[in-house]
Amino acid sequence: MLTKRLIACFDIISGRVTKAVRFQDNIDVAPADELAEAMYTAGIDELFFYDITASSEKRSIDIETVRKVAKRVFIPFAVGGGIRDARDMYTALKAGAEKVSIDSMAVRNPAIITDGAKAFGSQCVVLSTQAKKTGRTPSGYEVFIDGARVATGLDVIEWIRQGQDLGAGEICLNSIDNDGTLSGYDLALMRLAEAAVTLPLIASGGAGLPEHLAALFTDTQAQAAIISSMLYSPRMERNYSVRELKEYLTRGNIHIRPHA
């Protein structure tokens, strides 16, 4: 049985972590490097770092913040936002990232997936997809880009199937509808995805209670869960520690990485 992973995902603006609801009204949380170290110390399994305005502002990723975070954590660390080609991937990996997440640019230029996989290995390439239930595609879910601001007309399930064929090593699916709502993951979306691809799937958007994690890992084949709001969102009545989440899942016979 594969071990499930808990991931903290940082939405970065100007070197600081923010939290939003459905990609709007971002609230400032903390400097990225300080919160990264706190999450690492708390026992999080992995970090994702998204420079959420890089694509819409048509600029490169905030590489200096990537370097600062990489110096303070010793767990898998993926970065995304403003990754335009294999050279940008190389720069991010050289700065300390272990994986690169591509989203908007992959839609604009799908060859970047293959280029990254050939240059650095599929294990370094995460295809991140923002999914919204619009009813305008065969699956009902449509791909959005540029920080979930722009509809593409692409069917989410067809797109991740294409991403797998192009060489991605992992897929992160974020539900725009559930993002930041604390109402639970979109399990229907995850079930559609697991029926279409064989790659490891990361669920994002909606976690607010330990029960949401248990439902995800029990009712779908997701290998990892992004749990940012549960850990540090100012909108939560209370935040959870990584330890108590892992202990809760362990009691439910869910195979999770033990707390250090």
| Residues linked to residue 255 through DSSP beta bridges, in sequence order | none
Residue range 197-207: average pLDDT? 97
User: Would you state the pLDDT for residue 141?
Assistant: 98
| Residues linked to residue 141 through DSSP beta bridges, in sequence order | 133
175 assigned to some structural domain: yes
CA-CA-CA-CA torsion for 116, 205, 77, 201, nearest 10 degrees? Answer: -50
37 assigned to some structural domain: yes
| Number of domains present in the structure of the chain | 1
* Percentage, residues of the chain above pLDDT 90: 82
17 assigned to some structural domain: yes
CB distance 16 to 28 below 8 Å = yes
CA–CA separation, 22 and 68 (whole Å): 28
257 assigned to some structural domain: no
Higher pLDDT, 147 or 172: 172
Question: How many of the other CB atoms lie within 10 Å of CB of 161?
Answer: 16
CB distance 56 to 146 below 8 Å = yes
User: Would you state the pLDDT for residue 25?
Assistant: 63
Q: Which DSSP symbol is given to 167? A: T
Residue range 31-47: average pLDDT? 96
Element (H, E) at 242: helix 242-251
CA distances from 110 to 84, 95, 160 (A): 11, 24, 11
Higher pLDDT, 259 or 151: 151
CA distances from 45 to 39, 183, 257 (A): 9, 23, 8
Domain limits at 85?
Answer: 5-251
Instruction: Please count the helices (runs of H) and the strands (runs of E) in the chain.
Output: 10, 12
Mean pLDDT of the chain: 93
Q: Which DSSP symbol is given to 122? A: G
83 assigned to some structural domain: yes
173 assigned to some structural domain: yes
204 assigned to some structural domain: yes
Question: 177: domain CATH number?
Answer: 3.20.20.70
The lowest-confidence range among 122-126, 143-147, 167-171 is 143-147
**Residue 201 phi, psi dihedral angles, 5° rounding:** -115, 135
- Residue 23 pLDDT > 60, yes or no? no
CA-CA-CA-CA torsion for 156, 161, 166, 171, nearest 10 degrees? Answer: 70
pTM of the model: 0.93
CA–CA separation, 26 and 18 (whole Å): 6
- Residue 122 pLDDT > 60, yes or no? yes
Higher pLDDT, 52 or 119: 119
Q: For residue 153, give both structure tokens.
A: 């007309």
- Residue 1 pLDDT > 80, yes or no? no
73 assigned to some structural domain: yes
